[in-house]
Amino acid sequence: MPHGAEAQLYDIQLLSASAKAFAAVRGDGQLITCGHPSSGGWAPPTVVKTLHGQVKEIAASENAFVAICPSGRVVAWGDPDSGGDLGGAATQLAAARVRAITATDHAFAALLMDGGVVAWGHSYSGGDCKSVQKKLYNISQISASMNSFVALRKDGVVVAWGNTEVSDLRDVVEVSASSGAFAALKSDGSVVTWGTELYGGNSCPADLQQVLQVCGSASAFAALTLNGSLIAWGHPFGGGLAPSLHDVFATCPRSGPPWAALKEGPIIQRG
């Protein structure tokens, strides 16, 4: 941390982290960055000035940050190969309002207010969505693994780009991601997975049915079924080897190993 940065870190209202840096916003609107400069730990003075009092949300890839302003404008800094430079996406973003931003390790995807998508960063990590751009409309959700994005349209169609492929997947209501795989929950309660098997791809139980919710850790997935059972698969260290649980009413989001809250009893964590 740069000398004197500790004195600036008070009344923090918003915090985000890349691999080796942090970006924080104080209550007075001041943007504070610290950490390795190559990971976004240093923001140019023009960025700090532009974002003063204007940050609504901050997203991070491995080595870059992107801030969303209340107006829908986005500002990026950090490693250009990780999305720290808007590049050719700047023109598209200037004419649009951004609703949310999702990140892979080295790219960002912006979900626009009109349901469109703009991506930038390293093409291998999903920074180029030109090949599927015509399919990216009426998008309701974007999920990300380390190197891939998956967008869900309001009509239930899934669109993928980056280091992944999925064909003709429809009737989907939600998509979850691990670091190297995706799990799509369909309207009939079934689940379709793809990606690296070690991360939960192409490996969900064949008889998995009546699923209400699926969530992913870094390397596993857990599904909550209608009868309250929790079924997990993927890497054992990521929670994929959890014992059978029953009378479950909630499971976790992606941040950390899967956990389950029982209707009667303690919270159980696996991984």
Q: In which residue ranges of the chain is pLDDT below 50? A: 248, 250, 254-271
Question: Assign residue 237 a region: left if phi > 0, alpha if psi is -120 to 50, beta otherwise?
Answer: alpha
Q: Which of 195, 167, 193, 165 is nearest to 179 (CA)?
A: 195
Domain count across the chain? 3
Within this chain, do residues 166 and 181 fall inside the same structural domain, yes or no?
no
Within this chain, do residues 3 and 35 fall inside the same structural domain, yes or no?
yes
Given a contact cutoff of 8 angstroms between Cβ atoms, the answer to whether 72 and 98 are in contact is yes
Q: What pLDDT does 271 receive?
A: 46
Given a contact cutoff of 8 angstroms between Cβ atoms, the answer to whether 227 and 208 are in contact is no
Within this chain, do residues 116 and 55 fall inside the same structural domain, yes or no?
no
Q: What pLDDT does 6 receive?
A: 64
Within this chain, do residues 195 and 241 fall inside the same structural domain, yes or no?
yes
Helix and strand totals (H; E) in the chain: 2, 21
Within this chain, do residues 165 and 179 fall inside the same structural domain, yes or no?
no
| Domain end call among 55, 85, 115 | 85
Which residues does 46 contact at the CB level (< 8 Å), separation at least 6?
none
Q: What pLDDT does 242 receive?
A: 57
Q: What pLDDT does 123 receive?
A: 94
Residue 129 belongs to what domain range?
98-170
Counting every residue written for the chain, the total comes to 271
In a domain, 93, yes or no: no
Amino acid letter, residue 194 = W
CA distance 41 to 21: 5
Within this chain, do residues 148 and 189 fall inside the same structural domain, yes or no?
no
CA distance 259 to 268: 6
| Domain end call among 85, 118, 153 | 85
Within this chain, do residues 41 and 129 fall inside the same structural domain, yes or no?
no
